[in-house]
Structure 1
Amino acid sequence: MPQTSFKPLKMGVIGFGYVGRVFHLPYIEATEGLALHAICSSREDDVRNAYPDVKIFNTAEALCADDALKVIVIASPNETHRPFAEMALRAGKHVVIDKPFTTNLPDAEAVLQTAREAGKHVIVFQNRRWDSDFLAISDVVRSGVLGPIRHVESAFDVFEPAISDNWRFARGEGTGRWFDLAPHLVDQALLLFGAPERVTADIQCLRAEAGADDWFMVTLHYRQLNVVLRGSMLARFPAPRFVIHGTRGGAIKNGLDVQEAQLVRHISPSDDAFGVDPDLIRLRHEDGTMREMPARAAAIASFTPFSSKR
């Protein structure tokens, strides 16, 4: 049978900072059917050195006006997400917005309304739905081997005592650790357990002279289940990434997912080593039986089930 031919979707990216370079551009390059066409950045020399064959624009307006583009990725500072998204949608482009989608609910609703009026798709980029540890933990939770889940801790700790000049941690709208990290943790919890009945939150600045929050502990309260989301920038001894307690056993995963570190080292998502996490997930059953499993998707399929003993 003849093969179906199609033209790759030409992609444009607004922003060439850490998020654009590390999280978006490698996935565009590694994904069949996508073609990097243009980048908008004030750092023209850096873009040219890394991507000599792409078009470079100095303004978002100029990039959005390029008729060849079909999809625009917004990887710029958080407060620009709404205006750039609406600009791209009105220019007839589909839009991918890095988290957080916007810095407040009215802006999010306005972007969605603009997308409806333009007849275009707009989605938030939630790459940590595909973290190896989260995929494996999801398999464990959904398999039922731990019984009904009653308590979950999802922590993302780092040790960065020095105050950087990064815009993410300066005073401003949509800055701080909660806006920077929590969209991932909240998204993962909602995928596993749905919307909670109520939420309690403690969000603070613990480092002297910090411009925005650098520590949080937020609990999602469900019926017979609490999901605790934590993040600290002063964790010299990081907490486990995941701790799961069920009525028939528990699971623990130490260490952060490896994919971000691999992308920083220019390991492509298409590489066989990508996402292979050396930190195993440990499970303990009610009868004391211990098991270990790799942090990867569908690992539970090859996992020796616990005894059915109750």
Structure 2
Amino acid sequence: MWSFNHTVSNWPTFSFIGIPGLEAAQIWISIPFCLLYVLALMGNALLLILVKTECNLHEPQFYFLAMLALTDLGLSLSTMPSVLAIFWFNVHYIGLDACLTQMFFIHTLSSVESGVLVAMAFDRLVAICAPLHYARILTHSTVACLSGAAVIRSATLVAPLPFLLRTFPFCGVNILSHSYCYYPDVLNLACGDVTFSGVYGLVFVLFTFAVDIVFILVSYMKIVATVLTLENRDRNWKSLHTCACHLCAVFVFYLPLISVAVLHHYAQNTSPVLFTSMSNAYLLVTPVLNPLVYSLKSRQIQAALRKRFGVQRVIAGK
């Protein structure tokens, strides 16, 4: 039996619950989780290697793709220790420092990924709406500035979150509803007035994910408006096809994010198994699917794969 901390403490131990009701099947459940982590690590590492070694991928859109792959690698490595520790070693505890460190990296990297998706939308906007000025606008320094801005913005906005949580004592049964440390989840366990911390968390979401979604929507409204003015239908299709990979990446990232936010709001009416499964999918599906999307949809990535592995034909590459 687990022994939980029922006393007020500034240095608590938090407990992960795994998947409620399926504790006896944890070893079997760990197999698909492990496979997904391996796919995520291998797929994103392969994208990084391709972008680095293939000269035809030395373009702004693929530099942003490499940044996306690096972020997905970080997200996978941030959650993998606690998730697999639950399933493999029945380790359900994490200290405050480790919890806050994991939380910082998860939220920072999630915000960075959102920022990179905005940069990729800007890349497609310039490529379609101002193709003659693409090389002048999307220079190496522009790519570096956009990527650096995404990292600096994320780290700056997330940094106060662990310090805000440190100011609170924790009391009662400190059971987390995820298999990793998530800011709203930890904040719900804090004792005292958490109004300011809750407001700051909302501000963080608004100034990152909400603002980024607006920028992406505006970019694609402009892209669609430009494409509709083109007289050549084949050119219209080719222009929109270049956005397919990015649009898939946007949906793969934001749909689980929004789903978890909605489940958090209505957690009292949600099945614990569904809630835990969605929370795990939130940070695991994106790193797994992004490499698959670009491998199946990007002709340049397919060409690089054929060149490197000597494959003559890639399924779905027609």
Give TM-score scaled by structure 2 length: 0.25
Q: Which has the higher strand share?
A: 1
Q: Which has the higher helix share?
A: 2
Greater relative contact order: 1 or 2 (C-alpha under 8 angstroms, separation 6 or more)? 2
